[in-house]
Structure 1
């Protein structure tokens, strides 16, 4: 368990603090791994769930109802990124939600 720490900043105006946060945000963006946009990239069930902030049971339900086309590769379930994005776009156009 991490110990809580308190940081108190004095003699720093709001614009200087905002500049510090902007610098941190830029650095975090540089360090963050890039999400592949290649439509032929295979995704795991967890990656699909994380991408759309849904649960694994929802991914499974979308598989069973045919919303998501999936592939079995060496006993593992995989999805093509392009097909996942197309399926969700189709759901949004219909105005529905399958969660």
Structure 2
């Protein structure tokens, strides 16, 4: 009977050492993953802090459409002035339901045309 008991003790010892190994491995793996996540978060925060702030709604747009707020902010005019320019045909507008959108390229081009019209005429 002694050999069976001794075999059981060896098996129990191997199971205990395997469980200890697995626990240590999982602890090391968890620490490594946490360190990687922390490092990635620090990198993202560093990149975001180095980016220069953009003008809200204008610099970060491509050649898309602008809202009334963005156009008024870009041109530094009030909403009533924007509406008047739109009614006069100085700034083209696209209406989608009740929403007014302005093509960024067309707005910038209209600025060039307005500045030429308002220029001083030489006789």
The one of 91, 106, 116 equivalent to 1:68 is 91
- State the structure with more CA Rg: 2
4+ runs deviating over 6 angstroms: none
Report deviation, 1:75. Answer: 2.2
Q: CA RMSD in A?
A: 2.4
**Secondary structure of 1:72 counterpart:** strand
State the TM-score, normalizing by the size of structure 2: 0.49
8 Å contact kept, 2:86–2:93: yes
Q: Are residues 1:36 and 2:56 paired?
A: no
Unaligned runs of 5+ residues in structure 2 are: 1-47
Q: What is the 5 A alignment of 1:1-99?
A: 30-33=51-54, 35-36=59-60, 38-39=62-63, 41-95=64-118
Q: Which has the higher helix share?
A: 2
**Secondary structure of 2:81 counterpart:** helix
Query: RCO higher in 1 or 2 (8 Å CA, sep ≥ 6)?
Result: 1
State the TM-score, normalizing by the size of structure 1: 0.59
Unaligned runs of 5+ residues in structure 1 are: 1-26
Q: Aligned partners of 1:28, 1:68: CA distance in 2, in Å?
A: 36
8 Å contact kept, 1:38–1:82: no
Comparing 44-53 and 67-76, the one that deviates more: 67-76
